Amino acid sequence: MSSKIAVIIGRFQILQRGHGTLLQAALAAAPKVLVVIGSAFRSRDAHNPFTWEERKQQFEAVLTAEQRQRVEFLPVRDYFDDQRWGDAVRTGLERIAGRGAEVTMVGFKKDRTSSYLDAFPGWSVQEVEPEVDISASDLRRIYFEADNLSTALTVIGNYVEPGVRDYLQAWAQLPAYRQCQAEHRAVTEYRQKYTAPFYLTSDAVVTTRQHVLLIKRGGTIGHGLWALPGGFVDPWERFYPAAVRELAEETGYKPHPAQLRNSLKSSAVFDHPARSPRGRIITNAFHFDLGDAEFPDVQGSDDAKLAKWVPIAQLPALESQLFEDHACILDHFLGLYPPV
């Protein structure tokens, strides 16, 4: 006889009572529950302030001891590839529940972000009405924008369980809170200033001797995170020259144009709407492979406080320290993560 398991999926970037409604429905639907935590290994930013482990802790703050024995957690990274993401969820579920498990997906269809409910043929879907009509985005705005934390937590307490409120109060004492608060405010100012429906950027993936050239970001947004050299495309500028210009400005690497052109291996566009909390930013990335050439001298400048040749083998361990979706870009060109 096949096992029964209920599944809920989300980012849960502040676990609110609407999520709790899904959790309780899942606990009622099956003896075992799998909570799939999305955007699991991304670096912290204004849109994703909590690590997946911290989101798991928020769940544990509202579960009874008996319920904790019935709930498993599956962290899944962002692939920005629906097929690959779905395969990761299915593979993880099979590892936990075994092949042939009877699966019930519990969720509510609120907007385009709920399309995942239709992504798993063979799984039954149980739709649930949320207990409260508020988004985690609204709660994050209150959490990071209020001048008085106590007042913010009082308001948030109307929409989260007491255990989560206590967790948020304690988490606010950490440096991560102050960093995310500063970035949230910077992103808000950024989006008020730059109001076009989308913007264009260009990035350079430069490799040699099994190393890749990365910069460490300055400024407030993504401060201290590793990133690819790149930036915004100027008016009347095309993607390729923009990538070359930004590469020179941020790292000081200025090879002969013919040398760089001859080392170009491939390029790709990355246009997922959720790739950046700053807004709809579409980038064209170019992979330059210098072969076995000696490491060119580099030095961080402009928006970069450091430029460094990083071993490609170290990149998977740096995933949570990579800016926005740059882990996905690097994976596309360099194959960081094994097939699901």
pLDDT in tens, 204-213: 999 999 999 9
- 335: tokens are 């194959």
Residue pair 242/231 in contact by the 8 Å Cβ criterion: yes
Which domains does the chain show, CATH number per domain? 4-136 (3.40.50.620), 199-334 (3.90.79.10)
Tell me the average pLDDT of the chain. Answer: 93
pLDDT at 1 over 50: no
- What SS3 class is residue 191? helix
In tens, the pLDDT along 116-156 reads 778 898 899 999 887 777 889 999 999 999 999 999 999 99
In tens, the pLDDT along 161-196 reads 999 999 999 999 999 999 999 999 999 999 999 999
71's enclosing H/E stretch is strand 71-75
Residue pair 108/129 in contact by the 8 Å Cβ criterion: yes
* pTM of the entire predicted model: 0.92
199's enclosing H/E stretch is strand 199-208
Residue pair 39/139 in contact by the 8 Å Cβ criterion: no
- 176: tokens are 């991560």
The pLDDT assigned to 131 comes to 72
Residue pair 203/283 in contact by the 8 Å Cβ criterion: yes
The pLDDT assigned to 132 comes to 74
